[in-house]
Amino acid sequence: MPPVLRADVRLVPVAPEHADDMYAWMCDPDVSRNVGLRSAPSPERTRAWIARAVEDATIRAFAILEGPRHVGNVVLDQIDEYLGTARLSLYVGKPAARGAGIGHTAVALALREAFGALRLHKVWLTVHCRNTAAVRLYERLGFVVEGVLRGEFILDGERIDALRMSMLRGELEEPGAG
């Protein structure tokens, strides 16, 4: 049986009031290394990204709240209405919130949005092969590896492989199902 979703975790649309947290997390090497930032973060770039996400119909960006605290973000972007696909990305920015089921709950809630309200057929993601905690999380949720993208990611100056993973509509196993 899949893990129970945390009742104290919810998603809200990313908004300007989330910018300070997001900028701080992008400055954290544990976050920036795994998301593959290509340039130094700045408060201005963070605010600009939020403004674009709010306006762009191909992006659904959510702040992850644990109770009232903003602890991370989960994003559906590259939404293709014709194909019914979107890319998923996740980061839990607050170190104390990592490994506590928050990421699992946030992704499950984002998948409900993707397959429910957005009526998508497929959600896909890429994750570098050394981010084993993320790979395990995605596998527990039901994502499958579609392929290996050889040398696709640069981590600490070294080229490493990334995994392309996906889930199709109907493959999301809800807590208590089965």
Answer for the pair 102, 9: CB distance below 8 angstroms, yes or no: yes
Q: Mean pLDDT in each 10-residue stretch from start to end of the chain (178 residues)?
A: 80 97 91 82 95 96 97 97 97 90 96 96 97 94 97 93 96 61
Q: What are phi and psi of 19, to 5 degrees?
A: -60, -45
**Which CATH superfamily hosts domain 9-168?**
Gcn5-related N-acetyltransferase (GNAT) (3.40.630.30)
* Amino acid 127: pLDDT: 96
Rounded CA-CA distance 21/94 in Å is 9
